[in-house]
Structure 1
Amino acid sequence: MSQPDPNDIAFARMNAVQPEWIGLRRLGDLPGLDRRVVLHAGPPFDRFAAIPAALRNSLSNIVRREGWAVDQGQALTLLESGDVVIEPAQNHGVYVPLAGAAGPSTMLIEVADRASGRSAFSPINEGMVHCTRLGILHEDLIAHLRWLDDILAPWISERLGQAPLPLFPLLKQAIAHEDDCHSRTIAGSEALVAALLAIKPAGTGDGQLAAFLHGAPAFALNVWMATCGLIASAAAGVAGSDLVTHAGGNGVHFGYHLAGNPGHWHLVPAPAIRGDVGAGFAQSAPLPALGDSAIVDVLGLGGQILATAAPVRAALAAHLPADATTRPATFLHGVLDGFGALAATDAAKVRATNTGPIILLGIIDGHGRFGRVGGGCVVGDDKTFPN
């Protein structure tokens, strides 16, 4: 009798997940995180000096938000000395976009699978103005982070406490409206906000909250990141499986985990992003692949559903490979029932065919001065997912 294929076993575990947005949790309430720690995207850094300036800005912003330092200089001193520990978010089941960061006070979206009792997390999307994900310093950013945690989070929690949101129906709705669920999340954001308001409409004093949510077209991204992270990580621990369970970049390295080797970061130099930098940012220093949002693409969304995301395909036409709409069938393992599309990157297939996922990414200025300076993609190959 032939033995079951480890990748089939791993994929079945992914396919069994039924993600629901059940609430929000403080990062410091997660196991082992009630301490002086700041989380970042992608794999770990081997030394503080390797951290790009943009990410240092975000880490220092969180240290200041926590009240551990009064200014950036003091914050950087605490980080460099190790008095505040710096760790990869995905090591704790948390997914952080771009140059973002999170600390113990950060309120996290919790997406859960009731059958298994597992959860995955991501910070609330910060909107379009004051964002740690941009890697910049701004005098109003600390206050905005506290507003997200202290005002917006309880408003959302009140609604989810009455009725958790099953996410596959909303994800399918977003895809049907040409979202790729990574670089374009407009329809998904509208659907999530509408679902929250359907549970309990905005009150007379909720104008600022409603205005923020309706003006945050990337609001859904963090929900989709936690959703994809929850699904992909369900396969962790299946011996012999080459399916990717975690993935992300830190601006220096790109890293991933395989189901058959849980907890181990496989590292490669962060690949450059194919894309356009805005005309006003000639003095920027564009970082290579950055952010935990890569998990969306390696699971099968983002750059893998460009066939149904015409606006994204048109915007990136100059930078996409000729096989952009057909290549997913080369390396994705099977059809995920939850969103009815191919899913789960098989690293062995990527190596065998030299064809890997298209990962859609924003381009961040590494100097930490200009924030997001453009957008584009990484085209995966055997150098992105080597042995």
Structure 2
Amino acid sequence: MTTRNSPSPLPDANAGANRLAVERIIATEPVLAGCELASSALGLADGELGHAGPPFVSFAEIPAPVLNALIGAVLHEGWAGTRDAARSLIERGEIRLRSNHDLGTVSPMTGVVRPNQTVMRIENRAGAGVTYATLAEAGRLVLRFGFYDDKVAAGLDHLDRVVGPAIERALPAGGLPLLPLIAHGVALGDDVHQRNVGGMYGFVRSLAQLDNPVRAWLLDNPQHFLNYAMAAAKLALDRAQGIAGSSIVTAIARNGTVCGVRIAGGGSRWFTAPASIPDGGFFAPHSRANAQGDLGDSAIMEAYGLGGAIAHCSPELARLMHQEWPAASAAGQRMRALFDVSHPVIDPVLAGPAGVGLGLDARKVVAAGEPVRIHTGIAHRDGATGWIGIGVATAPVACFEAAVHALEMS
């Protein structure tokens, strides 16, 4: 399938650039190596907060879940004593907001990152590169969905003071390789975006010295594994960043207002279009009418070839998202056609002979004329109700068209 906006045939030089980008992605070996404070790891100073997705152009663009999460972070850091005072600091620009991708991390949903929180270090054991994973909270009323109260504050402190350090103490010598755990999860039916049951079981099993209370907490919250997988995917895709002429996608992220993509040949530039409204399985009594525009850095998983790109490999997730299996499977197969090569490590039986794709090519997205499928959590748009479901959103074709156009003009 082609469209009126299909790109011109790929020149040999561009094909070579794409091959180089994919080779660098494949060569990356992400390993969980320890934990640090975000202030030192990411260079976040007092009065600065990270957030998911491309930067906001103005205060008016910040949707309610993100604004409430930012307010909660300001309160948690002790920079203001009331919600109104915290909001005023943000509105006046006295709190500097920074895109997580530019900081060297990725975080789900609102993605708000504070200087004094614990982040987990992910290193490339095959060469240069470091990224950081945030620690995912448990439950539906949590900061990443825009909710903050005393219970949420206690949960954040538990992550920073108990969970992160316990995982660090339990790491094997030399760190914990993450790609085999991701592959194990996919073999057990994970999409490694909205289903992470197999990945979490493998993660906990690999930490033989883990404290029993933390082990139990992790097993009760398998979605916590997503954050490590996200950082691993970013580490690999960042290795392709800056390759002139390459149309390989290195990031997809959403801030609740826009969805943005980056390509290897586009440097740090975001190519954006309005964020889609997700649909799928909602927790009663909620429906799509309550849904916030798509949020989070977690579509890095789709950029890496997982999540919605392997919808045909995760039948249990399709059921939970209220997706008919034949349609979900067919969508996953269409997504596979947008990638340049097969993943050398992740190869579940349900993927069939084509395997799992690696190297999402913006040119192929434009030529197909079909948006990239994203498996996502859904936040209530009021910014107070929290997590209301899981479902399917899309990265609009317009993002990829803008990226390809810029590449052709460069």
Q: What TM-score, normalized by structure 2, do the two folds share?
A: 0.87
Q: 1:330, 1:117 → 2: CA distance?
A: 30
Q: Which amino acid aligns with 1:92?
A: L
- Say yes or no: does 1:343 pair with 2:358: yes
Q: 1:368, 1:219 → 2: CA distance?
A: 22
Which residue of structure 2 aligns with residue 231 of structure 1? 236
- Say yes or no: does 1:244 pair with 2:259: no
Measured after TM superposition, the shift of residue 163 of structure 1 is: 4.5
- Say yes or no: does 1:329 pair with 2:336: yes
Q: 2:218, 2:333 → 1: CA distance?
A: 35
Measured after TM superposition, the shift of residue 37 of structure 1 is: 0.8
Aligned counterpart for 1:214 among listed residues 208, 219, 223: 219
Measured after TM superposition, the shift of residue 35 of structure 1 is: 3.4
Q: 2:91, 2:376 → 1: CA distance?
A: 28
Q: 2:303, 2:377 → 1: CA distance?
A: 16
Q: 1:365, 1:25 → 2: CA distance?
A: 32
Which residue of structure 1 aligns with residue 368 of structure 2? 353
- Given that 2:65 and 2:145 are in contact with CA atoms closer than 8 Å, whether structure 1 keeps it comes out as yes
- Given that 1:42 and 1:89 are in contact with CA atoms closer than 8 Å, whether structure 2 keeps it comes out as yes
Matched residue SS, 1:236: coil
Q: Which amino acid aligns with 2:272?
A: L
Q: 1:129, 1:329 → 2: CA distance?
A: 32
Measured after TM superposition, the shift of residue 310 of structure 1 is: 1.4
CA shift in 2, pair 1:350/1:284, >3 Å: closer
CA shift in 2, pair 1:114/1:322, >3 Å: closer
Which residue of structure 2 aligns with residue 253 of structure 1? 258
1:232-381 to structure 2, matched below 5 A, reads 232-281=237-286, 285-316=290-321, 317-318=323-324, 320=327, 323-340=330-347, 341-380=356-395
Matched residue SS, 1:102: coil
- Given that 1:130 and 1:144 are in contact with CA atoms closer than 8 Å, whether structure 2 keeps it comes out as no
- Given that 2:33 and 2:171 are in contact with CA atoms closer than 8 Å, whether structure 1 keeps it comes out as yes
Q: What TM-score, normalized by structure 1, do the two folds share?
A: 0.92
Q: 2:194, 2:200 → 1: CA distance?
A: 12
Matched residue SS, 1:370: coil
1:123-142 to structure 2, matched below 5 A, reads 123-128=134-139, 131-142=142-153
Q: 1:129, 1:310 → 2: CA distance?
A: 24
- Say yes or no: does 1:19 pair with 2:30: yes
- Given that 1:19 and 1:168 are in contact with CA atoms closer than 8 Å, whether structure 2 keeps it comes out as yes
- Given that 1:124 and 1:222 are in contact with CA atoms closer than 8 Å, whether structure 2 keeps it comes out as yes
Q: Which amino acid aligns with 1:11?
A: V
Matched residue SS, 1:128: coil
Which residue of structure 1 aligns with residue 54 of structure 2? 43
Q: Which amino acid aligns with 1:382?
A: V
- Say yes or no: does 1:154 pair with 2:165: yes
Q: 1:325, 1:83 → 2: CA distance?
A: 44
Cα deviation, 1:290-319, whole Å, max 9, x if unaligned, reads 110001012101112222211113334249
- Given that 2:312 and 2:330 are in contact with CA atoms closer than 8 Å, whether structure 1 keeps it comes out as no
Q: Which amino acid aligns with 1:113?
A: N
Q: 2:61, 2:140 → 1: CA distance?
A: 27
- Given that 1:331 and 1:355 are in contact with CA atoms closer than 8 Å, whether structure 2 keeps it comes out as no
Q: 2:88, 2:246 → 1: CA distance?
A: 42
CA shift in 2, pair 1:75/1:274, >3 Å: same
Measured after TM superposition, the shift of residue 72 of structure 1 is: 1.6
Q: Which amino acid aligns with 1:168?
A: L
- Given that 1:354 and 1:381 are in contact with CA atoms closer than 8 Å, whether structure 2 keeps it comes out as no
Measured after TM superposition, the shift of residue 237 of structure 1 is: 0.6
Measured after TM superposition, the shift of residue 49 of structure 1 is: 2.0
- Given that 1:39 and 1:87 are in contact with CA atoms closer than 8 Å, whether structure 2 keeps it comes out as yes
Q: Which amino acid aligns with 1:337?
A: P
Identity %: 29
Q: 2:157, 2:52 → 1: CA distance?
A: 21
Measured after TM superposition, the shift of residue 331 of structure 1 is: 0.9
Q: Please identify which structure carries the higher helix content.
A: 2
Q: 1:105, 1:357 → 2: CA distance?
A: 35
Q: 1:103, 1:287 → 2: CA distance?
A: 23
Q: Which amino acid aligns with 2:375?
A: L
Measured after TM superposition, the shift of residue 130 of structure 1 is: 5.1
Which residue of structure 1 aligns with residue 405 of structure 2? none
Q: 2:271, 2:168 → 1: CA distance?
A: 36
Measured after TM superposition, the shift of residue 144 of structure 1 is: 1.7
Measured after TM superposition, the shift of residue 322 of structure 1 is: 6.9
Q: Which amino acid aligns with 1:299?
A: Y
Q: 1:383, 1:219 → 2: CA distance?
A: 32
Q: Which amino acid aligns with 1:170?
A: L
Q: 1:358, 1:218 → 2: CA distance?
A: 19
CA shift in 2, pair 1:10/1:73, >3 Å: same
Q: Which amino acid aligns with 2:275?
A: A
Measured after TM superposition, the shift of residue 155 of structure 1 is: 1.1
Measured after TM superposition, the shift of residue 109 of structure 1 is: 1.9
- Say yes or no: does 1:167 pair with 2:178: yes
Measured after TM superposition, the shift of residue 13 of structure 1 is: 0.7
Q: Which amino acid aligns with 1:346?
A: D
Query: Please, which runs of 5 or more residues in structure 2 have no aligned partner?
Result: 1-11, 348-355, 403-410
Cα deviation, 1:29-55, whole Å, max 9, x if unaligned, reads 035323321111111111112211111
Which residue of structure 2 aligns with residue 107 of structure 1? 118
Matched residue SS, 2:259: strand
